Structure 1
């Protein structure tokens, strides 16, 4: 026999379906209303978002909007829309937001604190705007963030230590701001970080914190022109995934760690405009290398013969050092080399005949190198 519970469900279910449908419709209408209000508050030019309408088409099909599998708004992508108004306080009334992308606008003011209420947010891009002031100390309220891009604004002050609590963060970009305080060693707690971009800021003088050695997944280590001093830590050479290392235009000193030239995946090494001294490491096994710039340092000794093993090398700059000896013949055999700068050294001997025969040097580099060498002999 059919139980009383089953019989009850048979009668109740048909009554529940309209209720569920009604709630879904209500949620859709609420999201649509919030989006239209958001467009108005942002003052978005009518030439953008032409697909938006209060009475036609589903809002998940609107330009700049992403929805999840359940049909709820999960992403706002208002890129390069000439927005000049502040971020509205109700933006997180869209309760399922995982992505906010406002790159390339003219949004003014301090960091938009209402965004901290978007508890599900995984992707936040506020780059290329006109934000000022400090990053809020409670930035770690966005615990699910994978991407945080605040680059190309006018943020200033210190980087809060709480940023080190964003344990899922894979991309952290603070490039080209006006940070003039310190950056915390707690950034080293970001063990899932793959991109660290802090370049072009006026931080207080600092060494590279040893705590950063824990970020073993880093692929791009971009700390150019941020007032670093001291030695390049040996542990950087242990970052096996790294493909770009940029520490140029700082006050780094001491020798180049030998293991930097043993990094199998490294493609770009920019160490120019520092105070690095000693010889360039002899053992070279970074066979994926595409660009090396060691110019404007205090390096001595000869150019390593092993440079000729780097068959993918397109750019080699070692100018403005104190290098001696001859240019290795093997460099002339590099098939992809298009840019070589070795001027203002103490090099001697003849220019390798092979140089420029196996690759197309830009401009008249061969002729220029010849003149420089003759001048220096």
Structure 2
């Protein structure tokens, strides 16, 4: 009897292993199909949401059109997303991707602003949404992205004033807000981001007022571009 039970247990275990292997194979086939679709143009298929083990998704420099499917938000392990240099439009990205550290959406045709709850993706370190058609004001809650080191928003249609809350991004080394439609005086809070050491680009906007004494505290900053404003 004992031998029979042991044999049954082995058979059951083998069946479970076969089932798990089949599930992994199906998932891999789905992900490979999604990747192939992205590399050959077309749209990102909603089935990408089934690739729940994805950590990195790179499909930059293709001919991808249409919106980013909301199913991307199901990729809870995704930390690296690069969809730059395509023809994507609509909303930028779902704020459900809570583990994102790298987000590159530059050179597309996005018009919708970053999600209102985007500040909840607190792991973000790199954000590039430059060279799109994004309109509206910057969300002051972006100051909650305290891990952010590079924030590139240039060549869009952002308007309004630059939120003072950005000074909460204490690790920010590179900030590009150039070629937008920002107005008003430059917030003194920008001079408090002592980590700024690579670039602060505010050029080609409609900023007014005086060049701030506060910038004197940015003693590590290499590039300060305030050209083509109303200073």
Q: Which ranges in structure 1 are unaligned for 5 or more consecutive residues? A: 1-139, 147-161, 167-171
Equivalent runs, 1:1-377 vs 2, <5 Å: 143=25, 162-164=29-31, 179-203=40-64, 205-233=65-93, 236-283=94-141, 284-338=143-197, 339-363=199-223, 365=224, 368-369=225-226, 372-373=228-229, 376-377=230-231
SS class of match (1:296) = coil
TM-score, with normalisation over the residues of structure 1?
0.50
What is the Cα deviation at residue 296 of structure 1? 0.6
What is the Cα deviation at residue 182 of structure 1? 3.7
Tell me, in whole angstroms, the C-alpha distance in 2 between the residues paired with 1:258 and 1:178: 31
What is the Cα deviation at residue 262 of structure 1? 3.1
Q: Which ranges in structure 2 are unaligned for 5 or more consecutive residues? A: 1-21
Conserved 8 A contact 1:173-1:195: no
Relative distance call for 1:178 and 1:218 in structure 2 (3 A) is closer
What is the match of residue 3 of structure 2? none
TM-score, with normalisation over the residues of structure 2?
0.80
What is the Cα deviation at residue 165 of structure 1? 7.3
What is the Cα deviation at residue 144 of structure 1? 9.4
- Looking at both structures, which has the greater relative contact order when contacts are Cα pairs under 8 Å and sequence separation is at least 6? 2
Tell me, in whole angstroms, the C-alpha distance in 2 between the residues paired with 1:213 and 1:342: 32
Tell me, in whole angstroms, the C-alpha distance in 1 between the residues paired with 2:35 and 2:171: 28
1:13-54 CA distance string (max 9 Å, x none)? xxxxxxxxxxxxxxxxxxxxxxxxxxxxxxxxxxxxxxxxxx
How well do the aligned residues superpose, as a CA RMSD in angstroms?
Answer: 2.7
1:81-136 CA distance string (max 9 Å, x none)? xxxxxxxxxxxxxxxxxxxxxxxxxxxxxxxxxxxxxxxxxxxxxxxxxxxxxxxx
Tell me, in whole angstroms, the C-alpha distance in 1 between the residues paired with 2:156 and 2:69: 22
Number of residues of Structure 1 aligned to a counterpart in Structure 2: 207
Considering fraction of residues, name the structure with more helix: 2
